[in-house]
């Protein structure tokens, strides 16, 4: 999978990822680089629905089940009430309906925040902001998982390097 040219990736990091993560209180350079890298490895920042008819949605390719599980089992915790309130603030009036997961397709800040929460749930800390191999391993272990098609290989590490460099 190819990454984005530097200018669009810089825009994504500075105009969507960094402000969104700061807004929900889970920012910092390591988190910004990780979330940018995940968008690159999952979709090349080019696809809003999973190719081949799979269930994953948005630049970060989150499955509706994962999205719904975060809301059902993680966000109800009292210690996360501020994050939960900020997620409500990020939601758009459209497309809403009864399926909040549809927000993952066209609402970049919301999808970004949900990707960060999936990483926040991980039992291990995010690797350093400049550790492309470590961030790739974190993605594979905690985001893509053993069930996903991705690997910790030179091609995927290079995408995390690209996310770090811009």
What is the domain extent for residue 37? 6-165
Give domain status of residue 1, yes or no. Answer: no
Neighbour tally for 106: CB within 10 Å: 14
Neighbour tally for 36: CB within 10 Å: 28
CB–CB of 45/51 below 8 Å?
no
Give domain status of residue 113, yes or no. Answer: yes
The CATH number that applies at residue 51 is 1.10.530
Dist CA 50 CA 62 (whole Å): 9
Give the three-class secondary structure for 28. coil
Give domain status of residue 73, yes or no. Answer: yes
Give domain status of residue 33, yes or no. Answer: yes
Report the domain count for the chain. Answer: 1
Give residue-wise pLDDT tens across range 25-66. 999 999 999 999 999 999 999 889 998 878 999 999 999 999
Give residue-wise pLDDT tens across range 90-138. 998 876 555 889 999 989 999 999 999 999 999 999 999 999 999 999 9
Give domain status of residue 132, yes or no. Answer: yes
Dist CA 53 CA 123 (whole Å): 31
């Amino acid at each position: 999978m190819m990454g984005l040219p530097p200018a669009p990736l810089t825009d994504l990091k500075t105009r969507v990822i960094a402000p969104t993560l700061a807004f929900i209180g889970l920012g910092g350079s390591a988190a910004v680089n990780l979330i940018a890298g995940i968008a690159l490895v999952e979709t090349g920042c080019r696809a809003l629905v999973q190719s081949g008819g799979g269930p994953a949605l948005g630049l970060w390719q989150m499955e509706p089940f994962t999205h719904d599980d975060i809301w059902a089992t993680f966000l109800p915790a009292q210690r996360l009430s501020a994050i939960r309130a900020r997620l409500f603030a990020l939601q758009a009036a459209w497309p809403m309906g009864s399926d909040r997961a549809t927000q993952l397709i066209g609402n970049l800040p919301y999808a970004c925040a949900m990707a960060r929460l999936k990483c926040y749930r991980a039992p291990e800390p995010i690797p350093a902001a400049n550790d492309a191999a470590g961030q790739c391993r974190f993605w594979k272990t905690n985001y893509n998982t053993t069930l996903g098609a991705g690997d910790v290989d030179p091609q995927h590490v290079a995408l995390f390097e690209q996310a770090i460099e811009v």
